Amino acid sequence: MKILSLCATPEYTGPAELMLEDAVSLRAAGHEVTVGFDGRREGTMRSFVEAAGLPIQEGLDLCRIGRPLPIARDVLALRRWLREGRYDTVHVRFSHDHHVALLAMAGLERRSLRLVRSCELLENVAPGWHRTVPFAGTDRFVVPSGDHAEGLIRNHGVSSDRIDVVRGRVDAARYAPGPSGLRAELGITEEAPVVGIVSRMKPDRRHPDLVAAFARALASVPSAWLVVVGRGEGEPLVRAAAERAGVGHRVRFAGYRTGDELADAYRGFDVKAWLASGNDGTCRAVLEAMASGCAVLGGRFGAVAESVVDGVTGRLCDPGDHEATGAALAWLLADRARAASLGEAGRHRVLAHYTPERRAADVLAVYERAWTDPARAPSHGL
């Protein structure tokens, strides 16, 4: 196959990271893969694509701050490349690039073309700037969980036979149990129970809900600590929430960490909290924590609810119910040996179900189904 993988963002984060890793695995399987992304705004995407050694399709705007003329140019350019046979498969990640591809394919002979859409977040599946463009011309939809699949069926009328669940993956060699320098750095004893969160600090990540739950858990486990790893515009609000709840003295802000520093941070946690969806619907941070041997306090939604087994690898909760979430967190923090046992079970679970090799095989299977089934066309309806 000659694949054009599109992602309407200039930044290497969330869906873009998954796109690039999937593109690398497709290339390793013998397919030609070219990457296109937001060419208007500056960002980190180009450097990561170049480092992966993948060709870049230049000449695309793909900016989600849509303007009619750049959109039209993108549609015409893509239409020309498809007619010329430069690509036979287009894989999109956002509604913007999805609509560009649908418009470019309109009226073309579809027997020699396929369109695949990944939907990491259901919020990104929207009519967008061209409400008259239906999803009927899309051959396959890729989602990270059964919950996402149900949302596509319920909210967008996509038929179940066009949806593939492709779960996340984690590098279990990098993220593994072991000694950590995090506690010594933050002034936390090795004996103290620690719950950590790794996430950008912004309003939709529910840090204040975690603080409220932690305040309730602290009443039962007064030696516990909350460690916040990350950065973001919401940090002042999180700090203020901790002070209002009277737990500021038991909260440590560890800053933004990547690479080995991030792996080290996970190893310093007993429990990893994840109460809201991020940009990556596979909830990569949860899988990294499980691989590192952490028990998980997870929200009962999406990929989290499918990766975390309640009572076996952690606890699931309703993030808006502070009393119940606090009780679940207290249960996890009250017995460090039990938390370690849950974490060990979590690592076994990711080794069995969430490996890069398994995801690569699942992605390849999506393409095989797309080309085995008859091509879709807008006239077929949803």
Q: Is residue 82 part of a domain?
A: yes
236 and 361 fall within a common domain: no
Contact 281, 254 (CB under 8 A): no
346 and 362 fall within a common domain: no
Cα–Cα distance, 286 to 154 (Å, whole number): 26
283 three-state secondary structure: coil
Cα–Cα distance, 198 to 208 (Å, whole number): 14
341-377 burial string, b = 16+ CB within 10 Å, else e? ebbebbbebbeeebbeeebbebbbebbebbeeeebbb
223 three-state secondary structure: coil
Query: Taking the CB of residue 189, how many other CB atoms lie within 10 A of it?
Result: 10
Quote the pLDDT of residue 124.
Answer: 66
Count helices and strands in the chain by DSSP H and E runs:
14, 12
333 and 375 fall within a common domain: no
Q: Is residue 176 part of a domain?
A: no
Quote the pLDDT of residue 376.
Answer: 73
162 and 189 fall within a common domain: no
338 and 288 fall within a common domain: yes
Q: Is residue 279 part of a domain?
A: yes
209 and 279 fall within a common domain: yes
Contact 147, 305 (CB under 8 A): yes
Q: Is residue 341 part of a domain?
A: yes
Cα–Cα distance, 125 to 320 (Å, whole number): 25
245 and 102 fall within a common domain: no
**pTM (predicted TM-score):** 0.90
Q: Look up the domain containing 134 and give its range.
A: 2-169+357-380
Quote the pLDDT of residue 322.
Answer: 94
Q: Are strands 89-92 and 32-37 parallel, antiparallel or unpaired?
A: unpaired
| 3-class secondary structure per residue, 51-110 | HCCCCECCCCCCCCCCCHHHHHHHHHHHHHHHHHCCCCEEEECCHHHHHHHHHHHCCCCH
The beta-strand segments (E) located in the chain are 2-7, 32-37, 89-92, 114-118, 140-143, 163-165, 194-198, 225-229, 251-255, 271-274, 295-299, 314-317
Quote the pLDDT of residue 380.
Answer: 39
Q: Is residue 221 part of a domain?
A: yes
Q: Is residue 100 part of a domain?
A: yes
Q: Is 336 exposed, middle or buried (0-12, 13-18, 19+ CB in 10 A)?
A: middle
- Token pair in block for residue 317: 């909760």
CATH classification of the domain holding 297: 3.40.50.2000
123 and 200 fall within a common domain: no
234 and 271 fall within a common domain: yes
By percentage, how much of the chain surpasses pLDDT 70?
95
Q: Is residue 368 part of a domain?
A: yes
Query: What total number of domains does the chain contain?
Result: 2
Cα–Cα distance, 335 to 250 (Å, whole number): 18
Q: Is residue 177 part of a domain?
A: no
Cα–Cα distance, 187 to 351 (Å, whole number): 32
Quote the pLDDT of residue 122.
Answer: 75
What residue ranges of the chain have pLDDT lower than 70? 123-124, 126-134, 377-382
Cα–Cα distance, 24 to 30 (Å, whole number): 10
336 and 366 fall within a common domain: no
Quote the pLDDT of residue 127.
Answer: 52
245 and 313 fall within a common domain: yes
341 and 254 fall within a common domain: yes
